[in-house]
Chains A and B, each alone.
Chain A
Amino acid sequence: MKEHRTMVHGVILGIFCLGFGLLLAITNSVTAKDIAARALEDKLNSLGQVIPDSIHDNNLVKDAITMKNDRDKEITVYRATKEGKVTGLAYEIYGTGYAGEIKLMLGIDAQGKVLGVRVLAHKETPGLGDKIDVKKTDWILRFTDLSLGNPPLEKWKVKKDGGQFDQFAGATITPRGVVRAIKEGLEFYDAHKAQMLEGH
């Protein structure tokens, strides 16, 4: 008798799991297309912030190649072209912050000058490290127009480390990670220029 009752509970739990599983599966299939569309919009938006519309006449998402970065991670390099010539590149760069990885999108022109940088994802302390996000402060905008020689290589650091970039009150590790990521991103272009411009 007791075994029989245990069965009943199992069946009830199973029915609930099945029912709610079905509900979630339906919701997923209904929303999947819209979610993918939103993700693409977001990507184009963030690309638009680091590659000005005026310098290209192609679809950035279509003209993309995948490469391995120095951390052995697959990254997508979006190429901006105008009249067949590469005018800019955008790719993800990664830095190490206070609470883990910081993911950024770096946009540069063909000479290796920064067109723009934006934070895509981070887990930094709200109110402290999150000032790297353009929505909170304009700190990240100071990198625009800089390149590997401007400022000189040894100045690509936060002020506390003898460089030229401001840290935030109470947060040094986050800006340090971002500065380093951008510097490494520029060095990556320097080292792989030929491959990144290939085919154009």
Chain B
Amino acid sequence: MTTEYKTIIKDGLWENNGMLAMLLGLCPTMAMTTSATNGLGMGLATAVVMAASGLLVSIFRSQITQEVRIPVYILIVASMVTLVDLCMNAWMHELYKVLGLFIPLIVSNCLPLARLEAFASKEPPAQSLMDGIFMGIGFTFALTAIGAVREITGSGTLFADASLLLGPAFKFMEMRILPADTGILMMILPPGGFLVAGLMVVGKRMLDVRAGKAIQMGGAHSAA
């Protein structure tokens, strides 16, 4: 079974978006979207792990038997997370100081696991790598969007500290939208996360309805 790249890209970015359609990975979504920069960092780290573990599972898909597949997937995801964590700590230390916080959280994210089960275990390596990358980018997009809304309404800034994550060249992204101390505190606390994420899901469905598409009941187990 092979899925066309076009479908993989469209599914990952929008149609079957990990967060907005499948509602997976809600734990890191709520915890890490207090600012757009945090959302972006968490999303990118997740994308790297998803691409690597998707590729590995796909390569070994005929060796992994049905009965032990879940422990093997967890093993692969956890190994990739640890690998990324160690290598970044050693060789990309500045970035690690910012992203280091997010990396161990990826293990508790059910999105990589769901994609391994639904996609990588059935598709060839190239497709699985693409699926991991684009599901990861779609997740990054959703997290950054939620983070941006929460940050603007909660702290009045946008992409604060982006230069810590992306390097000094990205200083221009750091903006103050509202004057200091006008933010609604609740938005950067957990209730704000649920509110904004919920509204985003509604927004996506409304856009889909307007485009005349039947509402796709997103599910972790829709293979494509």
| Chain A residues within CB distance 8 Å of chain B | 8-10, 12-13, 16-17, 20, 23-24, 27-28, 30-31, 34-35, 38, 41, 125-128, 135-136, 169-170
Contacts and interface: CB of A to CB of B under 8 A. Distances in A.
20 contacts: A13-B68, A16-B64, A16-B75, A24-B79, A24-B82, A27-B82, A27-B86, A27-B87, A28-B86, A30-B90, A35-B86, A35-B89, A38-B89, A41-B93, A126-B35, A126-B188, A128-B185, A135-B161, A135-B164, A136-B161
A103 to B, nearest CB: 15
Give the top 4 A-B pairs by smallest Cβ distance, nearest first: A34-B90, A31-B90, A20-B79, A127-B188
A128 to B, nearest CB: 7
A150 to B, nearest CB: 29
A180 B91 CA distance: 37
Contacts of A127: 34-35, 151, 154-155, 188
Interface of B: 34-35, 38, 60, 63-65, 67-68, 71-72, 75-76, 79, 82-83, 86-87, 89-91, 93, 151, 154-155, 161, 164, 181, 185, 188-189
A135 B63 CA distance: 49
A170 B186 CA distance: 10
A52 to B, nearest CB: 23
B38 A126 contact: yes
A31 B65 contact: no
Task: Tell me what chain B mostly uses at the interface: helix, strand, loop, or mixed.
Answer: helix
Nearest to B60: A16
A135 B64 CA distance: 47
A27 B83 contact: yes
A20 B188 contact: no
B65 A12 contact: yes
A17 B164 CA distance: 36
Given A12-B63, A127-B34, A127-B155, A31 B87 contact: yes
B34 A126 contact: yes
Nearest to B31: A126
Contacts of A12: 63-65, 68, 72
Interface hub of B60, B75, B154, B155 (most chain A Cβ within 10 A): B75
Contacts of A17: 75
A16 B87 contact: no
A127 B63 CA distance: 47
B83 A38 contact: no
Contacts of A169: 181, 185
Contacts of A13: 68, 71-72
Nearest to A20: B79
A20 B64 CA distance: 14
A128 B188 contact: yes
Nearest to B32: A126
B86 A31 contact: yes
